[in-house]
Amino acid sequence: MQKALGCTSLILTCCVLLYLVLWTNLSEQWNRIEGQIVKSGFFGKKNKHTDDRVLIMKTIITSTLSLSSGATSLYKAENLFVEHEDNTTPIQILYKKNFTKLPVWDFEDVYSQDHDARKPTCSKSLRNTEDLKIKEAFFPNIQLWLYRGQLNITEWNRLAHFNNPFGFMEYKYDEIKPAVDLIPKPKSSILLPVPESAKDGCVRCAVVGSGGILNNSKMGKEIDSHDYVFRMNGALTKGYEEDVGNKTSVFVHTAYSLYSTLLGFRQFGYDSIPQNEGIKYVMIPEGLRDFQWLQGLLQGKEASGDFKGVRPLSFFNGHFNESRFYVLHPDFLRYIRNRLMPSKQLQDNTWALYRPTNGAFALFLALHTCDIVDAYGFITEDHHKYSNYYFEKFKKTSVIFYINHDYGLEIKTWKKLHESGVIRLYQRQENMSTSRVT
């Protein structure tokens, strides 16, 4: 009997010792992972949100990923992180086809923050809006820019859960990482400084789309009177200055929009992208081809993939300057989709096709970098009265509601922002003497 008790005691002692060894080893592994998370571009400096975000990542590592949509993950979460040289490897690739609607992860509404973001002193700034819904949805310190040093494997494993352009779903780490590592870090996260002439500290911006509502509008002088002017896509001004002005401070584009508009709008006289002195170029990384374009652009060579044989640098006609070139962060783009423009399309099997238009991204970029924003050439309820583009003088075409955009939602969004006083939307039936630009 005593011998049996002695054996049982010895076995229990061994079990306790083994448990302590395993627990110590697991704790050390977690501490290493947690340290990487806090150091990653996702968290930046430690702040009041850091502990919550580490808790989120700890949950991902130790349990099966859950989707608020009711779907289950395609793999066990403990397989997300595998021991390697730096303790982690990229998660297995997720495919859009395996989700019947937008997968909503536990960390879906968590975004990188910029602690050096501009602190407006303008009393008319969006941050002072009295619209509680807009105020609640708005993140003034959202990370706007993607650049070298931000993308490590921990950050990749977060962003790889979101479809493009909101993340890197379906892509490989070694397809994206080399391009991101070439993107220069902005000298300042503030895109547009307050002009010395602005005694009230307000930055006034115009965002100009290509809508036919501007044809014969005579808005050119008013547009150019703003401190800064945003344009995007086929930003044709030559010959149309009276209606749209000729000033461009920020040009927003994707690789495809830059390439295709020069081909498609050449018949209207659009033979080069805007190249005003001091202009800032902002790129929307729409997909893999944009990162292939970026590599060609920033290395001064031909692009690969869809743009094989094309030299991106040639599109800038010698005016490209890395210090004036910016790439939007996937978190900013996802934040726009999730909080400011959530389409019903995200709930059906075409969810992965939807994204806001380049004009929408440009307008919200302006709202995060300016204080007073006026929008021209954006779609309105009476869009059917006008041609698709303001430069169509002879053969007019109508707006085509492509499935990758929700134009109905954009109409409602611009109207809501206008009625709330967040923007002033140019509409032909308005009495334009009420312009707030001085």
- Half-sphere exposure at residue 266, Cβ-oriented, CA atoms within 13 angstroms: 7
Which residue would you say has higher pLDDT here, 208 or 62?
208
For residue 275, is pLDDT > 70? Answer: yes
- Over residues 158-178, the pLDDT tens digits come to 999 999 999 999 999 999 999
Dihedral angle over CA of 33, 39, 43, 48, nearest 10: 90
**DSSP conformational letter for 228:** E
Say if CB 276 and CB 247 are below 8 A apart. Answer: yes
Over range 406-434, report the average pLDDT. 85
- Rounded to an integer, what is the distance from CA 271 to the centroid of its chain? 28
Over range 410-430, report the average pLDDT. 91
- Over residues 35-58, the pLDDT tens digits come to 333 333 322 333 333 333 333 333
Rounded CA-CA distance 49/15 in Å is 39
For residue 183, is pLDDT > 90? Answer: yes
pLDDT number for residue 318: 87
pLDDT number for residue 434: 42
Between strands 372-376 and 250-253, the pairing is unpaired
Question: What is the percentage of the chain residues whose pLDDT exceeds 70?
Answer: 78
Helix or strand or coil: residue 205? strand
Which residue would you say has higher pLDDT here, 16 or 280?
280
For residue 258, is pLDDT > 80? Answer: yes
Over range 111-122, report the average pLDDT. 90
Domain(s) of CATH 3.90.1480.20: residues in the chain = 183-434
Rounded CA-CA distance 172/160 in Å is 9
pLDDT number for residue 8: 52
Which residue would you say has higher pLDDT here, 118 or 260?
260
β strands within 264-418, DSSP E:
280-283, 325-327, 372-376
Say if CB 143 and CB 112 are below 8 A apart. Answer: yes
Say if CB 413 and CB 385 are below 8 A apart. Answer: no
- Over residues 140-155, the pLDDT tens digits come to 999 999 999 999 999 9
Question: What is the percentage of the chain residues whose pLDDT exceeds 90?
Answer: 65
**Is CATH 3.90.230.10 the classification given to domain 183-434?**
no
pLDDT number for residue 129: 85
For residue 197, is pLDDT > 50? Answer: yes
pLDDT number for residue 53: 36
Confidence category of residue 4, pLDDT binned at 50, 70, 90: low
Which residue would you say has higher pLDDT here, 37 or 364?
364
Q: Can you give the pTM of this predicted structure?
A: 0.80
Rounded CA-CA distance 265/260 in Å is 8
